[in-house]
Amino acid sequence: MTQPPAGAPAGAPADAVCLGETMAVLRPDGPGGLAGAARFACGVGGAESNVACLLARAGHRVRWVSRLGADGLGDRVLAELAAHGVDVSAVRRDPHRPTGVYFRTAGSGGPGPGDGPAEVLYHRAGSAASAMSPDTVDRATAYSGRVLHLSGITAALSDSCRALLTELTGPRPGRPLLSFDVNHRPALWRGGDPAVPAALARRCDLVFVGADEAREAWGVTDPGRLRLLLPEPAVLVVKDSGRDATAYTADGEFRVPAPSVAVTDPVGAGDAFAAGFLSATLRGLPVPLRLRHGHLTAAAVLTAAGDFAEPPARALADRLAALDDETWARLRLAPGWTADGGREPGPGPVPGPETRKG
């Protein structure tokens, strides 16, 4: 693994600030579901910090803002994010509330033992991050980057977290570009108002939403109708599973198909897509190339186990993103493709039991 870039020095301007909860992640140390697991491997995971780590590994200066318990799991989260090059100086520790925890399996969706949908079990109620509020998060720190990345997960954690996002997304001078991933989690919004994430999205500049999320949260099945529901963001990116992604902008509609990917673990792919798109946005690349970089970063996570994977080297990603349309359509990505010494993956079929769009 390459050395991570140095994080932004404390107080220094960042390229991106990511705000949200990160938890300890416990995964069965072997195949099978949660019920039969004898041992668990511990890692860390959180939508916004996944984006932060990928952006940092891609060479950007990134700051993560959150709260953690004053416990060993909080220590682990801080250490792992810092190891990826993320500035964690703005993270606050809560002596009265714990670091959140969740359990999950990989769930590739394939036909073999242990395949199928991932099992996810959250233990995050009353966590340190759920106590974030306008009073506990400094707005100047949240606004200290060129981009502030948020997600609907934070709004679902508590009333005070929802108030914080409402405060941060308000129109005011000096506000950075606001990126918002709807990240609809039915388990978190059970009994909640699905209009809340839509209202927050309308206050942001760049919005990511999955077509499946839009169906579940708002009953919208057509991407064009989704743009009518969310007309305010300057850029609306609609991800249609592994088939394609469409960006709606003032300059028109841009659709880019996803390459075919041999999926190892689907968890974290949406965060990776956002990170790839944001990285290309920070570099000032055209919208179609931003979409391709989103697909490529998602493919890096899809072809590796866990919430996080090393993104493709910038030179490799740039070469693949610049392929002509015909060659891009024939692109096949298998596990290990990002570590292939910069050699472009071939257009032939991917090995493995399952090939699907990523």
Beta strands in the chain (DSSP E): 14-19, 23-28, 40-45, 62-65, 67-69, 92-94, 101-104, 120-123, 145-151, 177-181, 206-210, 235-240, 244-249, 252-257, 260-261, 332-333, 356-357
Please, which residues have CB within 8 angstroms of residue 168's CB and are 6 or more apart in sequence? 19, 137, 139, 142, 143, 148, 150, 178
Half-sphere exposure of 191 (CA within 13 A, CB side): 2
Q: DSSP labels for 85-124?
A: T-B-TT-EEESSSPPPEEEE-----SSSTT-SSPPEEEE-
Specify the residue for token string 């179609």.
288
Catalytic, 212? Answer: no
**Nearest alpha carbon to residue 321 among 301, 294, 354:** 294
Distance of CA 201 to the CA centre of its chain: 16
What's the CA angle centered on 319, arms 316 and 322, to 5 degrees? 145
**Nearest alpha carbon to residue 51 among 314, 298, 237:** 298
Q: How far apart are the first and last CA of the chain?
A: 23
Please, which residues have CB within 8 angstroms of residue 6's CB and are 6 or more apart in sequence? 85
- Catalytic site residue from 87, 181, 271, 307: 271
DSSP code for 267? T
Phi, psi of 324 (to 5 degrees): -65, 160
Catalytic residue positions?
271
